[in-house]
């Protein structure tokens, strides 16, 4: 208070020593400075607005990239029916996913991913079966060093209202889905449910949020095509038209849904119908097509219900950081007259059961150990060819499958390792040729498979 009074008297003293002209000049200078300050403040406000626009523009006007690179070692061993065994003690592979994303507005976004997945020193021969190179597993099976499109789609969202809506179209990697993400060391699963779908697809999706009025609920409607009967060569006289009258386009309709998800309990379900699916026809057997393989053989239905529980007991640290899941699924093959599916002209339904327990390893900070079990019946035939297991699909096992893995992340999750053991005990034929082969084991078929895997993975 004393300093303020003193300052006041000093200013009064200064003004009392000035003449009237001096005071008038000082007022003019003060007014001039005030006007300049006001102009600078207005200019600063305009600059801030411009910078805000630039920042807002730059937040959307760019492409963000990410890298997922993995090098893996696999030791494979197959026991064959009445034919001994075969093995590969040192299968080496590398897989690169180069992802991209852009969002020009808050409602519109794009995501893409290109991939290379190759075996070291690979010398691949041309495909011998007519469906080996179809798009649904183009970049999900170890092949060569060719760059392939794994994912490319846009999403347009309408977030207002009680039921948020979005529409999407393009190519999706429908792999590493719900429940399969644990063995892949991924916190967030892909879509849809891995128990019946693990492949690459092209389609259109419509999503409705809050569909059932429960926490985390939504429903999706997906329509797509997994195989097309057209001449792919643009050099023919009639490019991109029907190749022949026997094959048909294979289209699918999928309804994935989240029924309830409160962060601890996550209940999901899915129904799939595949039209004009693959099978065989006696009249088509030839030297070029020894199985008589064709599309248009019939209708395929699939369904699954999966439950995951995160945090089994919040009062016990070990259980609070553990995850348990259980899933049940079915597949039905319904051939048309004159065709066969799964080696039969009759309708057959297969069933599967899948459960797993993932828990902390207790001796590292972030390491997790997983134990999983799968069981499939004779006619169990899901679309899981893109499942990341070198020795065919574990999920599609007709018999019993056992798996244990240890995922250990480093460097804030940017680097990780995995040690995994998978054992498949087949009661029936492996699911590699499920659209034409009868399930009964033949001489030379694998009766069991073992795969020991170790990988190093970089993600950024």
pTM, full prediction = 0.83
User: Is the same domain home to 48 and 72?
Assistant: no
User: Is the same domain home to 141 and 231?
Assistant: yes
Given this model, what pLDDT does residue 248 score?
Answer: 85
Residue (of 459, 357, 342) closest to 402 by Cα position: 357
User: Is the same domain home to 56 and 67?
Assistant: no
User: Is the same domain home to 346 and 421?
Assistant: yes
In a domain, residue 15? The reply is no
User: Is the same domain home to 250 and 124?
Assistant: yes
Say which CATH number the domain at 306 has: 2.40.160.10
In a domain, residue 146? The reply is yes
How deeply is 222 buried, as exposed, middle or buried, from its count of CB atoms within 10 A (0-12, 13-18, 19+)?
Answer: buried
**CA gap 450, 389 in Å, rounded:** 11
Three-state secondary structure of the chain: CHHHHHHHHHHHHHHHCCCHHHHHHHHHHHHHHHHHHHHHHHHHHHHHHHHHHHHHHHHHCCCEEEEEEEEEEEEEEEEECCCCEEEEEEEEEEEEEEEEEECCCCCEEEEEEEEEEEECCCCCCCCCCCCCCCHHHCCCCCECCCCEEEEEEEEEEECCCCCCEEEEEEEEEECCEECCCCCCCCCCCEEEECCCECEEEEEEEEEEECCCCCCCCEEEEEEEEEECCECCCCCCCCCCCECCCCCCCEEEEEEEEEEEECCCEEEEEEEEEEEEEEEECHHHCCCCCCCCEEEEEEEEEEEEEEEEEECCCCCCHHHHCCEEEEEEEEEEEEECCCCEECCECCCEEEEEEEEEEEEECCCCCCCEEEEEEEEECCCCCCECCCCCCCCCCCCCCCEEEEEEEEEEEEHHHCEEEEEEEEEEEECCCCHHHCCCCCCCCCCCCEEEEEEEEEEEEEEC
Tokens of 328: 């049940």
User: Is the same domain home to 56 and 195?
Assistant: no
In a domain, residue 114? The reply is yes
The answer to whether 268 and 219 have CB atoms below 8 angstroms apart is no
pLDDT in tens for each of the 460 residues of the chain? 555 555 545 455 555 555 566 667 777 777 777 777 777 777 777 677 666 665 555 555 688 999 999 999 999 999 999 989 999 999 999 999 999 999 999 899 999 999 999 999 886 555 555 555 566 667 777 777 888 899 999 999 988 788 999 999 999 888 889 999 999 998 888 888 999 999 888 999 999 999 998 999 999 999 999 888 776 666 677 788 876 667 788 999 999 999 999 999 999 999 999 999 989 998 888 887 888 888 899 999 999 999 999 988 887 888 889 999 999 999 999 999 999 999 999 999 999 999 999 999 988 989 999 999 999 999 999 999 888 888 889 999 999 999 999 999 999 889 999 999 999 999 999 877 667 788 999 999 999 999 999 999 999 9
The answer to whether 342 and 437 have CB atoms below 8 angstroms apart is yes
User: Which CA distances in Å does 74 have to 16, 77, 267, 391?
Assistant: 95, 10, 34, 9
Given this model, what pLDDT does residue 434 score?
Answer: 61
User: Is the same domain home to 327 and 269?
Assistant: yes
The answer to whether 388 and 140 have CB atoms below 8 angstroms apart is yes
Domain that holds residue 383: 63-459
In a domain, residue 1? The reply is no
In a domain, residue 291? The reply is yes
**CA gap 314, 320 in Å, rounded:** 5
User: Is the same domain home to 57 and 81?
Assistant: no
Tokens of 139: 């970049």
* Contact partners, residue 442, CB within 8 Å, separation at least 6: 81, 429
Domain count of the fold of the chain: 2
User: Is the same domain home to 146 and 272?
Assistant: yes
Given this model, what pLDDT does residue 21 score?
Answer: 62
Given this model, what pLDDT does residue 32 score?
Answer: 77
User: Is the same domain home to 216 and 320?
Assistant: yes
Given this model, what pLDDT does residue 131 score?
Answer: 53
User: Is the same domain home to 50 and 177?
Assistant: no
Q: Would strands 190-193 and 199-209 be described as parallel, antiparallel, or unpaired?
A: unpaired
């Amino acid at each position: 208070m004393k300093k303020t009074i003193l300052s006041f008297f000093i200013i009064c003293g200064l003004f009392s020593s000035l003449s009237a002209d001096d005071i008038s000049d000082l007022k003019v200078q003060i007014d001039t400075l005030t006007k300049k300050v006001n102009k600078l403040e207005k200019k600063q406000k305009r600059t801030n607005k411009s910078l805000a626009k630039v920042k807002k523009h730059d937040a959307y006007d760019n492409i963000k990239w990410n890298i997922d690179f993995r090098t893996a070692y696999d030791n494979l061993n197959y026991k064959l029916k009445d034919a001994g065994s075969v093995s590969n003690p040192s299968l080496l592979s590398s897989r690169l996913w180069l992802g991209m994303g852009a969002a020009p507005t808050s409602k519109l976004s794009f995501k893409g991913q290109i991939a290379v997945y190759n075996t070291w020193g690979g010398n691949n021969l041309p495909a011998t079966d007519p469906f080996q190179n179809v798009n649904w597993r183009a970049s999900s099976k170890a092949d060569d060093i060719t760059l392939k499109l794994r994912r490319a789609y846009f999403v347009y969202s309408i977030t207002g209202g009680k039921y948020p809506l979005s529409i999407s179209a393009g190519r999706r990697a429908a792999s590493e889905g719900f429940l399969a993400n644990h063995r892949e060391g991924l916190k967030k699963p892909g879509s849809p449910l891995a128990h019946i779908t693990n492949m690459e697809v092209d389609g259109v999706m419509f999503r409705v949020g809050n569909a059932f009025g429960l926490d985390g609920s939504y429903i999706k409607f997906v329509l797509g095509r997994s195989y097309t009967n057209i001449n792919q060569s643009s050099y023919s006289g009639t490019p991109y038209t029907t190749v022949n009258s026997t094959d048909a386009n294979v289209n699918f309709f999928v309804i994935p849904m989240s029924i309830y998800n409160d962060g601890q309990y996550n209940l999901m379900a899915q129904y799939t119908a595949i039209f004009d699916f693959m099978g065989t026809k006696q009249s088509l057997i030839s030297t070029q097509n020894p199985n008589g393989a064709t599309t248009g053989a019939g209708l395929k239905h699939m369904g699954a219900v999966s439950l995951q529980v995160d945090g089994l007991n919040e009062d016990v640290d070990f259980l609070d950081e553990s995850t348990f899941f259980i899933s049940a699924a079915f597949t039905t093959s319904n051939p048309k007259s004159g065709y066969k599916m799964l080696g039969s002209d009759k309708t057959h339904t297969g069933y599967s059961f899948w459960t797993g327990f993932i828990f902390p390893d207790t001796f590292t900070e972030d390491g997790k150990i997983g134990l999983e079990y799968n069981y499939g019946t004779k006619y169990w035939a899901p679309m899981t060819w893109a499942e990341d297991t070198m020795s065919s699909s574990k999920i599609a096992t007709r018999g019993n499958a056992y798996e244990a893995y240890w995922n250990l992340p480093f460097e804030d999750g940017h680097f990780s390792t995995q040690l995994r053991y998978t054992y498949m005990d087949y009661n029936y034929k492996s699911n590699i040729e499920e659209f034409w082969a009868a399930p009964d084991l033949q001489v030379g078929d694998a009766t069991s498979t073992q795969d020991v895997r170790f990988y190093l993975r970089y993600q950024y």
